[in-house]
Structure 1
Amino acid sequence: MSESSSGVNTLSGSFPKSHSSQFSEVGVTRAALSVDPSPDSGLVTTPLPSSRFRFVSWHRLEQCNVTGDQLTCPRVREGPSEEDLFLRQGADLYLDRGRKRREEEGQRWEERLQENWENCSELNLSYQDLGDPYQQDNFFRILRRLIRVEKLQLIDNSLTNLSSVRLPRCRMLNAHRNHLVCLRQLPKLPAVEHLCLSENAISSLEGLGALRNSPLTSLNLTRNPVTFTQDYRARVFSCLPNLQVLDGISKMPEDSVPPKLKGPENTRMCNIF
């Protein structure tokens, strides 16, 4: 279990897409959550006892005994305030509106201090539906605070570039079903062991060399155009010496054979940076 927002525990879990957010009280029955550490075979989880709260921002719940470890995907996609919307439309603001806005900003800052993302070790931020630039900015603000996270789920968030994020302790990252087109768009992952990038739009192995010195043992690139590259498996294994599993298939003897070098490209095939 890991401590996060407002001092409660958060834990990564399953990924149902229901968006129910009822606030009625429920009887809570603690249940252990089992997670398969290998993202290649998918995450096998047991149901959460209070799944109806899966998309609720837990520090806003009132008169309810649900805790953060019973949430599937904590909601972080806050929307702009009414005053921000007025500013976007170029409307004139009165003094009372300005005062109200400052009060809201102060309250929002206090809530952010209570979030305590820096102490998260396991976190599921999947299915955030980041439809507004304001929500994307808030999402990346949280990602940059995850200095101790070890297991992170970012499934189906339409993410296009994570290169500005550094996750120094992350051992497992699941970015399944996003919009990444290049491995250079990955966050800095010096400690990553399991990396799932299936169902993105990655078309080349450019940038793979950044993972050479990492302890990466499992990589999933299924349903990416890059998997149709000639000598795909041999090139990946030749660049990642610690890799044991690629796309759910363990390393085979033929994967250790250096990729075939043809013509003037032979000086570039081995260097994938």
Structure 2
Amino acid sequence: MNSYIAFVIFCFGLLSVNAQTYKAAFRADVCSCLEEESLKRTLTENTFKACLRETLPKYAVQIDAEIVEPDVSKKYYKGQLARKALLFAMQYELIYSCDVYFKHLDYQRTSQKLIARENAKESDLEKYNQMVALTPNAMAYFMRAQLQFNLGNIKASEADVLKSLEVNPNKENEKATRHELLLLASIYEEQEDFSAAVALYDKIYISDYDVEVARLRALSDKKAGGTIANISKIGQVEVIKDNTSLKTIEKTSRRKSRTHKLEKKKDSSSLRKLLKL
């Protein structure tokens, strides 16, 4: 009996290692694609998606092999979810393991910040000062905080955004204060307090596919010396949440399977849908 239990544990461990191996290989292949493209042209979001489209079919067999489901329709649906989760994970996991991708996203953020700083007008500050004086509410403080940040007045921006959070009647609601918290995280990054920024991104993260925050978190975490092991809280997707959703899945899958052999279909149309994260 003990030897049987040990064998089962070994098998589960082997499956886990195989899963980690193919995911690491997937990251490496996407990164190689991006590195090759970066030698030809400036990287863009479309370049990244093209590399995902090119790489995903190579791993279809390994992805499906991990799904233990006798029902063909359910297995197809779970396979689609697994692919979507993998594609989403690449958007932030690659930041840790692919230097060209990290530099591309970091450059984009820096460029956007510098353009906003170039367009910010010191003369607008008086208008926001009057707004705060007349209506000292959360929105007034936040708008002035954003202008101060764009002007490069980081300490003044921090004071205003903290005041905005203080007077906000919904300050305990992360969704209601998302913009304020994102700005505060950017302020912490400007001050090179990346750990504080990461803690805020963890607080802000609102859904399984919050790409913006997942990327920002990974960028800050990497700058703080973090590794890919630090991303366990991001992107944990539950395949089937309840019986109601399962019934919907079954009905939809059966209807589709009558007209196509969906479990084998890997055309570009399906990949484009999966890439719409």
TM-score (norm 1): 0.25
Structure scoring higher RCO (CA < 8 A, sep ≥ 6) equals 2
Higher helix share: 2
Higher strand share: 1
TM-score (norm 2): 0.25
